[in-house]
Amino acid sequence: MDKLRELYISYTSHEPYSVEPILGSGSNRQYYRMVAPDGKSLIGVVGTSLDENHAFIYLARHFVAKHLPVPAVLAVADDGLRYLQEDLGARSLFDALKGGRDAGGRYNEAEKRLLRLTIAELPALQIRGAVGLDFSQCYPQAEMDQTSVLFDLNYFKYCFLKATGIDFHELRLEAAFKLFAKDLTADAQLAFLYRDFQARNVMLSADGSPHFIDFQGGRRGPVQYDLASFLWQASARYSHELREELIDVYLANLKLYVEVDEKRFRQRLRLFVLFRILQVLGAYGFRGYFERKKHFLESIPPAIQNLRELLADDSACPYPYLREILEQLVALPQYASEEQRPPVRTDGYRTAVDNVYKAHPADGPATFSKYDGKGPLRVRVFSFSYRKGIPEDESGNGGGYVFDCRSTHNPGRYEPYKQITGLDEPVIRFLEDDGEILTFLDSVYRLADAHVERYLQRGFTDLMFSFGCTGGQHRSVYSAQHLAEHLNAKYGIEVVVEHREQGIKSVLAAKTL
């Protein structure tokens, strides 16, 4: 921070009146609003990657020379890790669209106007911005190629698809991915691909005109990618009609710079929409399922809904095996659409419509226990070491299940995994690549699902699952965490997960269904 302050003084010849951290950046860079005594402000940036900083500074200066709406870089420190840029204000397009998002995608005319202005500016950045641009300055690569596409598709496979438990043929899926990557990169790529074109990266000036930030990951690539990224942003919930209107606005402005075959453009746009949805599901899976970040978990259902709507178009996924897998994905109960979800009781927790017992009339009415109809259900899931004994059931019910994970391959036998747990990505990858734990959990899920469903029907309040292994560190921790997240996602119930030997306890809150 001291060196950034020195850069500010060197540029302005005075001390900053105030320095305010700016929150919300998705990268490792730190941003500060540095205000002068007269109220004028600059943005100070501290980066951790010299190459990433260099890419932004080069691109910003190139775009400013082209009179494109980006912040000017005003001063750069000798080490290249700190720089000052123009302050475009504190209001982003994302902030301005909050009302429409909160209304479930019902945007008013003022919000639509901002969207039209933003989309209309994008072709200029992509086409004019590419003229004379030295793409070798881009970071981390110069262009979108098949290798980078396959990286993102496999990220989806390992970080999202495998976490759902869907069984798939690795080689058949890989063959579909290779065809997909070839098709996405088939056209000559002469434009600048923003890559992170989203409402958070659009700042609005006082008159509402859009300016673009955070384009340091850009490279040469197809124009459809950015349009798909923006219009199919999961949380935005843009209607079909609004998307079509904005596509028309985009095409009208793109035609100012290049000839456009609209039919082919729209065909290729569908491919990029599919790619972008899989790409973001990979990110949501890693950030949500593995890092357990709430925002990303909440973003998964709308992304799945985007995928469901896209698959309704037979031409949107021309790869039969990939389509087969994706149709299984959108049909999973945890991603059911509103109309597919089971009914909700008026007292706030879900149960079955019908009586849980349908006896023969001659048997007379059933006798129910004192635990019937109390609800809502809370599930407790434990990991433990058999050396230290099975966890006690504090509820007094004395029920539930204890599963022995010791039949599966133990990462704790190998030095790289001895100091980490089943919550850490290297252990997760070890277990999932080996596959034994996934087969084991398939059986656990079927048993647990049946039990939870009956307990929900009867209105019982407590159920306990425990997973034991040798040390309570790897296999049991992985299994307990994944069952907890599975039950919480599928049934919307509160799940308390406790990794006893690790001293870790967390609560997966009940969802409003």
pLDDT band of 362, cuts 50, 70, 90: low
* 160 domain-assigned: yes
Q: Which tokens hold the place of 30?
A: 């730190």
Other C-beta atoms within 10 Å of 359: how many? 10
- C-alpha 376/C-alpha 349 separation (Å) is 6
* 352 domain-assigned: no
Q: What is the dihedral of CA 161, 164, 167, 170, to 10 degrees?
A: 20
Is the domain of 453 the same as that of 423?
Answer: yes
Q: What is the mean pLDDT of residues 138-151?
A: 94
Please state, in angstroms and as integers, the Cα–Cα distance from residue 87 to each residue in 13, 31, 90, 202, following that order: 18, 11, 8, 13
> Mind listing the pLDDT tens digit for each residue in 381-393?
999 999 999 998 8
* 398 domain-assigned: yes
pLDDT of the residue at 28:
73
Quote the domain boundaries for residue 14.
2-86
> Mind listing the pLDDT tens digit for each residue in 178-203?
999 999 999 877 899 999 999 999 99
Residues 6+ apart with CB under 8 A from 340: none
pLDDT of the residue at 264:
94
Give bridge partners of residue 462 from the DSSP assignment: 378
Is the domain of 369 the same as that of 421?
Answer: yes
* 349 domain-assigned: no
* CATH code, domain with 136: 3.90.1200.10
Give bridge partners of residue 504 from the DSSP assignment: 499
Q: What is the mean pLDDT of residues 437-462?
A: 88
pLDDT of the residue at 77:
95
Is the domain of 70 the same as that of 94?
Answer: no
- C-alpha 372/C-alpha 19 separation (Å) is 60
pLDDT of the residue at 361:
53
The answer, yes or no, to whether residue 412 has pLDDT greater than 60, is yes
The answer, yes or no, to whether residue 358 has pLDDT greater than 60, is no
pLDDT of the residue at 329:
95
pLDDT band of 136, cuts 50, 70, 90: very high
Cα 486-303-156 angle, rounded to 5 deg: 70
The answer, yes or no, to whether residue 333 has pLDDT greater than 80, is yes
Q: What is the mean pLDDT of residues 213-232?
A: 95
Q: Residue with structure tokens 């490279």?
A: 219
Domain finish residue from 42, 68, 86: 86
Give bridge partners of residue 467 from the DSSP assignment: 383, 403
The answer, yes or no, to whether residue 504 has pLDDT greater than 80, is yes
Other C-beta atoms within 10 Å of 202: how many? 26
Mean pLDDT over the full length of the chain: 89
Amino acid letter for position 244: E
pLDDT band of 102, cuts 50, 70, 90: confident
Q: Is there a contact between 93 and 203 (Cβ–Cβ < 8 Å)?
A: yes
Q: Which long-range contacts (CB under 8 A, 24 or more apart) does 296-304 make?
A: 297/489, 299/234, 299/235, 300/335, 301/335, 302/234, 302/235, 302/237, 303/234, 303/277, 304/329, 304/330, 304/335
pLDDT of the residue at 460:
83
pLDDT of the residue at 244:
96
Q: Could you say which DSSP state residue 285 is in?
A: I
pLDDT band of 372, cuts 50, 70, 90: low
Q: What is the mean pLDDT of residues 284-300?
A: 81
Say how many domains are in the chain.
4
Is the domain of 153 the same as that of 246?
Answer: no
Please state, in angstroms and as integers, the Cα–Cα distance from residue 274 to each residue in 176, 229, 308, 310, 311, following that order: 13, 10, 10, 7, 9
pLDDT of the residue at 25:
53
Q: Could you say which DSSP state residue 254 is in?
A: H
Is the domain of 76 the same as that of 119?
Answer: no
Is the domain of 400 the same as that of 488?
Answer: yes
Residues 6+ apart with CB under 8 A from 225: 144, 193, 195, 272, 275, 276
* CATH code, domain with 22: 3.30.200.20
Q: What is the mean pLDDT of residues 359-365?
A: 54
Q: Give the gyration radius of the chain's Cα atoms.
A: 27
Is the domain of 246 the same as that of 314?
Answer: no
Is the domain of 49 the same as that of 133?
Answer: no
* 31 domain-assigned: yes
Q: Is there a contact between 20 and 32 (Cβ–Cβ < 8 Å)?
A: yes
- C-alpha 292/C-alpha 428 separation (Å) is 14
Q: If you write DSSP's letter for every residue of 103-163 in order, what string do you get? A: TTS---HHHHHHHHHHHHHHHHHHHGGGTT--GGGSSS-SB--HHHHHHHHHHHIIIIIHH
Q: Which carries the bigger pLDDT value, residue 335 or residue 465?
A: 465
Q: What is the mean pLDDT of residues 316-336?
A: 92
Q: Is there a contact between 224 and 265 (Cβ–Cβ < 8 Å)?
A: yes
Domain finish residue from 86, 110, 130: 86
* 498 domain-assigned: yes
Q: What is the mean pLDDT of residues 248-277?
A: 96
* 58 domain-assigned: yes
Q: Which carries the bigger pLDDT value, residue 25 or residue 285?
A: 285
> Mind listing the pLDDT tens digit for each residue in 53-90?
999 999 999 999 999 999 999 999 999 999 999 999 99
pLDDT of the residue at 354:
45
Share of the chain above pLDDT 90, in %: 71
pLDDT of the residue at 314:
87
Helix (H, G, I), strand (E, B) or coil at 357: coil
* 267 domain-assigned: no
Is the domain of 213 the same as that of 161?
Answer: no
The answer, yes or no, to whether residue 349 has pLDDT greater than 70, is no
Domain finish residue from 199, 229, 260: 260
pLDDT of the residue at 123:
97
The answer, yes or no, to whether residue 346 has pLDDT greater than 70, is no
Other C-beta atoms within 10 Å of 274: how many? 26
- C-alpha 435/C-alpha 15 separation (Å) is 59
- C-alpha 291/C-alpha 187 separation (Å) is 37
Is the domain of 325 the same as that of 462?
Answer: no
The answer, yes or no, to whether residue 230 has pLDDT greater than 60, is yes
Q: Could you say which DSSP state residue 342 is in?
A: P
Half-sphere exposure of 14 (CA within 13 A, CB side): 12
Is the domain of 151 the same as that of 133?
Answer: no
pLDDT of the residue at 209:
94
Is the domain of 73 the same as that of 192?
Answer: no
